[in-house]
Structure 1
Amino acid sequence: MYGTSHELIHIFGRYNLTLEQLFYQLNVTLKYFVVIPVALLFIVTTHPSEFAASLNKIGVNYKIAYSVSLALRYIPDIQRDYRNISQTQQARGIDISRNEKMAKRIKNISAIIIPLILSSLDRIEVISNAMELRGFGKYKKRSWYNEKKATKRDFITIFIGILIFVGSLWITFQNGSRFYNPFQ
């Protein structure tokens, strides 16, 4: 296997940069450039309660659907908390800019991440206590305030999504392997 590698650059006497590694890195980078904008578009355009009601309507347990709804609903709150904590720490003189060395920046970022995690855990505790006090999960089914009927366009979109999924599975396993390697 070592003889088939297309070596490009010999780095530091110990590491080799090959065409395969560059191709793999290009694929990983493309994956992130494709997935992240779609995920952000989904988060920005989807109403969490409507999404939870839709998940429940297609058979997902309402507890799971509501958990997804809560996660989507609190993304802006976590972003706001991050900005607030970051500005507070910077006002105290903690530098997270590129002017600091990497080890110092990681240590300084932990001064932001730890309070963010603790405030998120506090919020989770408050929400779970409120849900428990209101009897969440007591019944097998629940009603949804933002429930909408599925339209013809919804079914067409689901059908197209299934076609794309089946097509991608067919393409993936066409040559007997999950991975595409142009260097074979």
Structure 2
Amino acid sequence: MDNNIFGYDHNNTWVHQLTGTSKLLFFILVSIIAMISYDVRFITLVLILSLIILYQSQIKWSQVRLIVKLILIFACLNLITVYIFSPGHGAYLYGTQHIILHLGYFTLTKEQLFYELNLALKYLVTVPISLVFLITTNPSEFSSSLNHIGVSYRLSYAVSLALRYIPDVQRDYQEISMAQQARGYELSKKGKFMTRIKGVSQILIPLILSSLDKIQVISQAMELRRFGKNKKRTWYMARKFSRNDYLTIVLAILIVLLGVWFMKIDGGRFFNPFK
């Protein structure tokens, strides 16, 4: 069951050994430059690098299967929506129109396909980096890293609690689901789709109630310990930078500079192969 839990997974890879601050800065810098650029060459290079880092972090497919499927579904729906509402946006951006299919308002062009390819790569490029960051970073260390870059420690601790709670919610869902199946509700793939939907809806109410109960317990415990009384606090999980941390930040800066260089030679954010 634990293999299906999306959350922090302790391991001994070089990625796990990095501090949360260096991983957070790498994630923020690389994500921003990847979102700004529309150069397919640059985005592809960043995607390959992020996949290599994902592989070296030794994250199992069972740990991220659900979240990756949801992201892919969302990405596909968004690409379809972009085409439906603006099928000529690619031709407008690149200044040319190479028609593939004449479909009236929905005329398909090479420029539109290239534009949506860039969008798809943008969705994909941040997925490995974000998964590596979330799964290889201890939530307490993550809150410490947020505080170190200037975020209020109250907000940092709230984010840490949210990350810690993700595996708990999934575990509660599985336990409630097994209890419902023991009472005769078919929630597995063997059951009909509408039956499974109905069963899932019956799980949500006890799941929400149990979550609210846990939130109340945690908030009361924090109040009893006078959390938030002082303006600053120390962090038990805070660590000093190692050589790899500095190299990670340098790599992030180099990626940003490379993205800026690509935009300079392209004359803007968009790489136009149709000129």
Question: Shared topology, TM-score over 0.5?
Answer: yes
The equivalent of 1:111 in structure 2 is 201
Does structure 1 conserve the Cα–Cα contact (< 8 Å) formed by 2:143 and 2:159?
A: yes
Structure 1 156/112 Cα, relative in aligned 2: closer, same or farther at 3 Å? farther
Secondary structure, in 3 states, of the residue corresponding to 2:238?
coil
Find out whether 1:9 has 2:139 as its counterpart: no
Q: Does residue 1:72 correspond to 2:163, yes or no? A: yes
How much does 1:8 deviate?
Answer: 1.7
Unaligned runs of 5+ in 2: 1-87
- Counterpart CA distance in 2 for 1:118 and 1:174 is 56
**Separation in 1, partners of 2:159, 2:237:** 15
Residues 25-174 of structure 1: matches in 2 within 5 Å?
25-84=116-175, 92-93=185-186, 100=193, 111=201, 115=205, 120=211, 122-172=213-263, 174=265
Q: For residues 140 and 33 of structure 1, do their structure 2 counterparts lie closer, same or farther at Cα, with a shift above 3 Å needed?
A: same
Aligned counterparts of 1:170 and 1:112: Cα–Cα separation in 2: 54
The SS at the match of 1:74 is helix
Alpha-carbon distance between aligned partners in 2 of 1:6 and 1:20, rounded to the nearest angstrom: 7
| Contact preservation (8 Å) 2:187, 2:200 | no
Confirm or deny: 8 A CA contact 2:185 2:199 kept in the other structure.
Answer: no
Number of positions where the alignment pairs a residue of Structure 1 with one of Structure 2 = 180
Range 123-132 or range 108-117, more displaced: 108-117
C-alpha separation in 2, matches of 1:130 and 1:52: 19
Query: Is the CA contact (8 Å cut-off) linking 1:86 and 1:112 kept in structure 2?
Result: no
1:20 paired with 2:121, answer no
CA–CA separation in structure 1 for the residues paired with 2:203 and 2:126: 25
> 1:39, CA displacement in angstroms?
1.7
- Asked if structure 2 preserves the Cα contact closer than 8 Å seen for 1:78 and 1:120, the reply is yes
Deviation at 1:43, TM superposition (A): 1.8
Residues 24-48 of structure 1: per-residue CA shift (max 9 Å, x gap): 3322322333322222222221111
Matches of 1:77 and 1:143 in 2, distance apart?
A: 26
SS at match of 2:258: helix
Q: Aligned in 2, Cα 1:181/1:70: closer, same or farther, shift over 3 Å?
A: farther
Amino acid at match of 1:67: A
Higher relative contact order (CA 8 A, sep 6+): 2
Unaligned ranges ≥5, structure 1: none
Using structure 1 for the length normalisation, give the TM-score. Answer: 0.71
Letter in 1 for 2:231: K
- The one-letter code matched in structure 1 to 2:247 is I
Deviations along 1:129-171, whole A, 9 cap, x unmatched? Answer: 4323321111011122222222233223222222222332343
Q: Does the Cα contact within 8 Å between 1:52 and 1:68 map onto a contact in 2?
A: yes
Question: Matched residues, percent identical?
Answer: 51
Structure 2: how far apart are the matches of 1:95 and 1:19? Answer: 43
